[in-house]
A and B are shown apart, each in its own frame.
Chain A
């Protein structure tokens, strides 16, 4: 909402604070002023000049040399405008040094086609007063003296405009009267709604009831329809209103259209003007649209309507979308002689639904959907009539017509005002400060509330109809602190009675984050939505949460896997030529709702990991990351989350298992992660088909782990006695066929080594050289120890001999 400081001062004569101060007051009261704009700032330095004489430019056709009188010295200027008036005509001179903010230029001495010009004759556009740049601004003859400062001679060309960001609960702030009342209340001034000249009787010959009939068929959506007519008017441009409208961002069209806009900007109550002679059948019907009915609105778009849309119709069909936009057929035209004004109150919800349905948002719908004042219809109508008569002449038809449900009368029945009881102690209870009750009551009265009864403990308040947001006691408490200012509230720490965590996911996510960070991964934040195609490419579960109104196909479903977001991150990085990506993301996947639940999807918290690039630093030769890196990260994260005693195991997937349960993984490197025998995730190299679908090459590794199993926190480690006796370590290198997996050999070594073996660790795998093709050498450290004595060499040798024999027997392994 743009608010004119001049207008506010007209409404509140005591208001002499600076615009900056006014803005600060508004902001502190919740009507946030986002900007202060000087309108017509150039008029402070420009002066009125009268044309003395004119001659052609010596060399350049199209330019003229104009001599002007600026109230003393005369001066000659170069001017290119086609509309320089005859001698005696008044124009606007920007003298040397004038700054024109609208053009961001300062007038300097310059030669135009060889002739020096000290100053410039200005157009409206250059003065920042309008967008007319077809010629210079010509002032009405005799309206000022040469040499007068423009802003002094024409004060309406100069204003300060406040740009107020209104919250949707304050429709009263969408008009200057509401803002005037507000600022008066904030400064503690009295406020009176301006007296609107008009009596409802009119001076015209006609009687409104003879000019038009009005029928409201949906009184629920239109509980009040008020109408007045003015006849014998003359449509003309409106020089006196154009700058005020311009300063408030509205184009001046003609006197009568300007009236509707000015009245709206005064009261915040939109209205409509019909050319009465174009209202077919002299009938107005307010009704809901027939399904499929068509209306071409003023913006030239043909709208197909539904039965929820409220229409204003004449005898032959729709002429306006109620409260939103008119149609072309009954628009005010230059030849309009009789105008019918509509001031109505439309149901905010209905206006909003229709506006949204048709993608329309107008000054009118913006106000109606927030709730205009149902109590000012008659005044708004009178204001429009009075202003029309002063700007466009004519006579008002006798009487007004107010249709309220089945009642049709010349005067409306005022709407009921809401009564609220305010208890004095609620102020302190909610605000934490003592506000004298009389002060609180005075504030409410300044805002337009009527206090009907009051004692020390409470009062009954009638709320004004322009404040639909005041619905209950607490709203009055807010009004009091809003006007007092929230700086009055002290800061006081409460004694918090502690609660316990509910859900545990935040803490779980934090632990998972720490675990992932600690192994060197960086955190990505990935979108909850993805595309069905991406999930399909990964063989992830079919999405169960589909969006009705997604921003696009790429964000149309809620993910059932964390990987699409991570793979997008890799693709992004690759586009930036970043090869090294080691990222994780933590968040829910959205799975089928649990039976018997609340119907919401099962949001399962997971961690996803993606690895791409190379391993190794400056000491070693870098090598592409491989499946064992994926394993290392996945196991480490799960182990850290599970705690030291947790049994985290990586289990290679068979081809069949991979196809069914991890189709996004390369079948050679697919594996599952198990915790205490329960499958909690998978990891491995990305399947080349999936990589291709995401525009990636090979060498991308992924892991995805369900975090729910870790929600109870890590298992507590249990202290084990530190061995007192030394260990004996024996190494064994076994040559085995490749199809025998290292894990099996290791288990066999462990089993064969017997109870004295404390640990078995693979420390080398070697292929090539003397090792026959198709085999590899696996070397293990085996650590032997007894808790109660130092083992003898003989004991250790015996146990170790068993290892060689058992593994040899079982796998045909030979000592290397």
Chain B
């Protein structure tokens, strides 16, 4: 019976019904999946439009082309409608996502490992070493327990002289001592290597002082350069460069003559106060620099000819400079640490600040 029935009218009806219905059906979808399901119900292998198209075979041949064109037109409409709805749905979804309440980023961040903290003394130590490495100096190690000769005698400390008061030492039962400064490395380098040499020597040092401003163990870093025609001007140049790199551009450097047995001339070095520096580079003066605008940071000088001679280096051929500083002091200046004792308590709340 079907063969005789011309389905054209039915097809037309169904096509118009579908044309009316597909967009509202798409619009009704609230998720991408339901939209896709809806689309499949129309365009899928067993979809409504496919079913309509299947009726085409029963239509008179002369009408088929027109019907086919209609079906195709509707198909394109449906496809376009689907794309539009899909786009709208995605857009709405994204907007909903974007406008949803923010994440609570006050919750702690999630990291694979929270980095630990270097000790402030180590931070300064590494930085000073890096500055001097850039200037061409290499690192020379030395021991904490040392021969008296390397720590005092060869450095020209006169026996029973008050100069040794400045460095009251710990002695071991085997008559060695805990080095009182890193200057022992000068002797070690000069007695084992030939000039020229340029070394930086960081290390732990010990003095018999234990009060509010002294720790019996602390750290120094020493730099020395020996070559032909090394002058005080070179020392000043290196100090200026050092101050610039460690304390910032245009940090003024001032040398004041002073006395250390192993240098001559010897000097203390002041740099522009880091606490009362103004934006124009001047210093206003503060209690920490005693209103001088300068703070003392290190000691230095030209290596004493006696020291060179003690190491079999001819002082008429070679000259050199040495400079040394306390790392605790630099760290305290940089980080505003008020008390040296804090450095050795190793309180986790202290260490976590650096």
Residues of A participating in the B interface, judged by any CB pair closer than 8 Å: 27-30, 32, 167-170, 348-349, 352-353, 369-370, 428-433, 469, 472-475, 477-478, 481-482, 486-487, 489-494, 496-507, 510, 513, 516-529, 545-551, 555, 558, 565-566, 568-569, 572-573, 576, 578, 580-585, 587-588, 590, 598-601, 603, 617-619
Contacts and interface: CB of A to CB of B under 8 A. Distances in A.
Nearest to B166: A168
A285 to B, nearest CB: 24
A583 B346 contact: yes
A132 B202 CA distance: 53
Given A30-B258, A491-B239, A548-B173, A496 B225 contact: yes
A492 B233 contact: yes
A370 B162 contact: yes
B337 interface: no
Contacts of A583: 346, 348, 351
A569 B342 CA distance: 12
A170 B258 CA distance: 10
Top 3 closest A-B pairs, CB basis? A503-B141, A432-B233, A432-B231
Contact of A493 (B146, B237, B264): B237
Contacts of B266: 478
Contacts of B204: 528, 587
Interface string B258-269: 110000111110
B20 interface: no
Kindly name the residue among B114, B253, B351 whose own CB sees the greatest number of chain A CB atoms within 10 A: B351
A809 B12 CA distance: 76
Nearest to B259: A167
A599 B140 contact: no
Contacts of B238: 493-494
B236 A525 contact: no
A502 B162 contact: no
Nearest to A517: B116
Kindly name the residue among A431, A478, A499 whose own CB sees the greatest number of chain B CB atoms within 10 A: A499
B121 A525 contact: yes
A494 B110 CA distance: 49
Given A429-B319, A432-B233, A600-B146, A528 B206 contact: yes
A349 B159 contact: yes
Given A430-B232, A572-B345, A486 B255 contact: yes
B301 to A, nearest CB: 9
Nearest to B352: A522
A524 B119 contact: yes
B225 A494 contact: yes
B254 interface: yes
A179 to B, nearest CB: 15
B346 A526 contact: yes
Interface in B280-325: 302, 304-306, 315, 319
Contacts of B122: 513, 523, 525
Contacts of B176: 545, 599-600
B217 to A, nearest CB: 5
Contacts, number: 292
Interface stretch (B47-55, B76-84, B131-139): B131-139
B257 interface: yes
A573 B351 CA distance: 12
B272 to A, nearest CB: 14
Given A491-B236, A522-B116, A550 B145 contact: no
Contact of A546 (B144, B173, B208, B240): B173
B351 A168 contact: no
Main SS of the interface on chain B?
A: mixed
Contacts of B115: 517-518, 520
A376 to B, nearest CB: 20
A582 B192 CA distance: 41
Interface residues of B, number: 96
Contacts of B45: none
Nearest to B258: A30
A592 B200 CA distance: 28
Interface string B150-180: 0000000001111101100011111010100
B231 A492 contact: yes
Contacts of B199: 499, 502
Contacts of A566: 346
A469 B163 CA distance: 12
A349 B259 CA distance: 19
Given A28-B256, A30-B258, A502-B138, A527 B145 contact: no
B206 to A, nearest CB: 7
A168 B161 contact: yes
B348 A491 contact: no
A587 B118 CA distance: 14
Given A32-B258, A430-B231, A482-B265, A551 B216 contact: yes
Contacts of A587: 204
A528 B174 contact: no
A601 B129 CA distance: 26
A489 B236 contact: yes
Nearest to B321: A494
A30 B315 CA distance: 24
B348 A573 contact: yes
Kindly name the residue among B173, B227, B237, B348 whose own CB sees the greatest number of chain A CB atoms within 10 A: B348
A415 B138 CA distance: 48
Contacts of A499: 137-138, 140, 193, 196-199
Contacts of A491: 233, 236-237, 239-240, 253
Given A30-B256, A431-B232, A472-B305, A498 B136 contact: yes
A392 to B, nearest CB: 34
Given A499-B138, A520-B114, A547-B171, A348 B233 contact: no
Given A501-B138, A503-B139, A600-B145, A490 B118 contact: no
A519 B116 contact: yes
Nearest to B233: A432
A507 B202 CA distance: 11
B143 to A, nearest CB: 5
Given A168-B161, A168-B163, A487-B254, A522 B208 contact: no
A580 B189 CA distance: 43
A84 B84 CA distance: 112
Given A478-B264, A619-B110, A601 B145 contact: yes
Contact of B264 (A474, A551, A619): A474
Contacts of B258: 30, 32, 167
Contact of A505 (B141, B196, B225, B347): B141
B227 A520 contact: no
Nearest to B108: A618
A265 to B, nearest CB: 19
Nearest to A566: B346
Nearest to A613: B348
B259 A30 contact: yes
Given A430-B319, A572-B345, A578-B349, 8 more contacts: A168-B161, A348-B160, A428-B231, A429-B229, A502-B193, A521-B116, A546-B173, A617-B110
B230 interface: yes
A516 B234 contact: no
A207 to B, nearest CB: 39
Contacts of B163: 168-169
Contacts of A472: 305-306
A478 B173 contact: no
B210 interface: yes
Nearest to A552: B210
B117 interface: yes
B196 A497 contact: yes
A486 B256 contact: yes
Nearest to A603: B143
15 contacts: A27-B256, A477-B264, A486-B255, A498-B137, A502-B193, A506-B202, A513-B122, A516-B116, A517-B118, A520-B113, A523-B118, A526-B346, A546-B172, A547-B172, A568-B346
A525 B343 contact: yes
B126 interface: yes
A547 B171 CA distance: 6
B227 A497 contact: yes
Contact of A474 (B129, B135, B304): B304
